[in-house]
Amino acid sequence: MFCLLAETSFHNLQELRHNASLANKVFIQRDYSEGTTCKFQTKFPSELESRIERTLFEDTVKTLNNYYTEAEKIGGQSYLEGCLACATAYLIFLCMETRYEKVLKKIAKYIQEQNEKIYAPRGLLITDPIERGMRVIEISIYEDRGSSGCSSGSSSVSSSTAR
Amino acid sequence: MHLGVSESMRECEYSQISTRSSTPMETPFKKKIPKKRKWESFPGRNKFYCDGRIMMAKQTGVFYLTLVLILVTCGLFFTFDCPFLAEHLTPVIPVVGGVLFVFVLGTLLRTSFSDPGVLPRATPDEAADLERQIDVANGSTGYRPPPRTKEVVINGQTVKLKYCFTCKIFRPPRASHCSLCDNCVERFDHHCPWVGNCVGRRNYRFFYMFILSLSFLTIFIFAFVITHIILRSSHRGGFLNALKDSPASVLEVVVCFFSVWSIVGLSGFHTYLISSNQTTNEDIKGSWSSKRGKDNYNPYSHGNIVTNCCAALCGPLPPSLIDRRGFVYLDTPQLAPPTNGITVYGSTQSQQSHMAAATPLLQQQSSEPVIITASPENGGALPSRTSLGLGGPCTSLPLGQPTPATSTASLSCQESTDMLPVHAHAHSHNHSRPLQDQVAHHHFLTPEDLPSPPGMLPCNTPLGHSHTVQAGFYNPASQDSLHEDSVRGLVKLSSV
């Protein structure tokens, strides 16, 4: 059980790292049923059953999937960008970002926000899929040091200060 | 002290997560170590230039041949044929020729130098997780199980996803492992020696534009050199005289004649592939051929030619997944399977407490053999294929080593044996190999070789002690080294 301080959610994340240690990692794999477009499975992993509500998890994954669909959408805007880039010999990307990169930044912000508000208070941490080559969403499960039976002396010190 | 360090380490980790393209970590010690970039410890067989901006295959000889052929032929054309043609026909000819030439060169360089869509290898945790799932599915047996496959249904077609033993991932559909570059590449088309790179998702459009514009250029040069010879022979009265006047034209004609057949043919082939949204790989294997079965169709095709072409050429360009120019630094602590050397860590932990990430529960080790770094301050000298390196609190130890090479007693963490890179760094050892093992041992047993860095006072004794401790359990408890490393904040088993 984590000591949730009355401060900002950012502090929750600090607390998480301060007091917790990594217990397990869950990997949400890609869903290829619609082809090679980036989409993650929304199946709720059993390891998270006791940690987070199913709906919250599914919401996160579905929102991420929507972001990726938006990034990879082929339509008017992407054609325009492609043609403009070709016409300028791709030099235009020296001064402007591709749409994909813009969406990736939005995703990074979203993940950070989700971590702070929802996952860190539950002792979980989502790693941005781009850091894992878009293969998986890695969710790290942390456990409070005091509650897990570790043999190291330093950890018990940390858990006592946390309380 | 232990906690403070752990917090700052996690802080570094936090800032890494917060933005994708984060600047090198804001650690108070960042200036003291020479930061390594991820391309320096890239596991594939690629060559990198311009500090990671340019990425090519290992064999680039044929690429230089391509470049020479294009430059020489165009050079001769502009020098010997264009003045005559501009004068007697129209000056538009050299202008169009110039534009085509620039376009060809631009697309060639773009194809050759960019990342084709390389998939980074799995982190040890991912690999372990996958292995567990596969074992559960297969039932563990004594021998190596048959090639692992996973079936998915994509738009009604059943597609088999193969497991890549090198990259330890299930390859996404249309991805393939290039044996020349030793990478899995997304939407792998083929490895083109002429271009010196793989052709995949990220550079296929440039490749296509290259061969298309090159075919126009060769036809253009061929046509106008012939025109030049004919005009000159009518002016000078004699075919042979004309050839004597402009000997370079002969060379150009020969080169262009042979090029036209191959390049134009290739362009036509790739136009067909684009319009049916197939890769060369799929076409050669006949994956979507109707000969395989009545119901066999291409599940990736958008249905009509125009959409397929537009999607291939004007679709969004995904960013590179391998982050070549990112800096190597600490990542999240590793999960590791249970070890038998837990008691040994107690002593090293207390000594390294001011440096390492606080992961006291990290008593498990990964399934990958790992080598301990004896000198944790050697932040800049951890090459490993999975971009292990120091960062954050570990940089507090000033670097005494002048060079990160074999002279130091540092070993780098690295993944399993089968992933030993071809371009292994001098000080990147795989302790499962006896020869290197001995080298590692040698390094360990001579801690005095380590130059004593100034200001490293609190570390000197612990280091000396840790050396002997590590040397003690180096062989049998080799798997514990991952824990050791992570405790000392040295392991970053990232996706690269």
Which pLDDT tens digit goes with each residue over B260-292?
999 999 999 999 999 999 889 888 888 888 777
Domain count, chain A: 1
B159 touching A, CB under 8 A? yes
Which pLDDT tens digit goes with each residue over B121-151?
988 888 888 888 777 766 655 565 666 788 8
Average pLDDT, chain A: 79
Could you tell me if residue A92 is inside a domain?
Answer: yes
Could you tell me if residue A47 is inside a domain?
Answer: no
Taking the CA of residue B440 and the nearest CA in chain A, the distance in Å comes to 28
CB contact under 8 A, A22 and B172: no
By DSSP bridging, strand B157-164 and strand B169-170 are: antiparallel
Could you tell me if residue A43 is inside a domain?
Answer: no
Could you tell me if residue A76 is inside a domain?
Answer: yes
Indicate if the pLDDT at residue B71 is higher than 60.
Answer: yes
**Which of A132, A145, A148 faces B126 most closely, judged by CB atoms?**
A132
Could you tell me if residue A98 is inside a domain?
Answer: yes
B3 touching A, CB under 8 A? yes
Domain range holding A92? Answer: 21-33+53-144
Could you tell me if residue A4 is inside a domain?
Answer: no
CB contact under 8 A, B317 and A98: yes
Residues of chain A in contact with residue B124, where contact means CB-CB under 8 angstroms, are none
pLDDT-based confidence at residue B477 (cuts at 50, 70, 90):
very low
Could you tell me if residue A117 is inside a domain?
Answer: yes
A157 touching B, CB under 8 A? yes
A152 touching B, CB under 8 A? yes
Indicate if the pLDDT at residue B469 is higher than 60.
Answer: no
Residues of chain A in contact with residue B360, where contact means CB-CB under 8 angstroms, are 21, 145, 150-152, 154-155
pLDDT at position B1: 47
Q: What's the mean pLDDT in B35-59?
A: 86
Q: What's the mean pLDDT in B176-199?
A: 92
Residues of chain A in contact with residue B324, where contact means CB-CB under 8 angstroms, are none
Catalytic entry in B74, B178, B184, B192: B192
Tokens representing residue B281 in the block: 């790989």
Kindly identify which residue of chain A lies nearest to residue B173, measuring between CA atoms: A36
Give the global pTM: 0.67
Which pLDDT tens digit goes with each residue over B238-256?
888 888 888 888 888 888 9
Average pLDDT, chain B: 69
Please indicate whether residue B256 is annotated as part of the active site: no
CB contact under 8 A, A18 and B7: yes
Which pLDDT tens digit goes with each residue over B292-351?
777 788 888 888 888 888 888 888 888 888 888 888 775 555 665 544 444 433 344 344
Q: How many residues in chain B? A: 496
pLDDT-based confidence at residue B155 (cuts at 50, 70, 90):
confident
**Which of B21, B152, B322 faces A33 most closely, judged by CB atoms?**
B152
Could you tell me if residue A57 is inside a domain?
Answer: yes
Which pLDDT tens digit goes with each residue over A25-78?
889 989 888 888 889 999 998 888 888 889 999 999 999 999 999 988 888 888
Taking the CA of residue A33 and the nearest CA in chain B, the distance in Å comes to 4
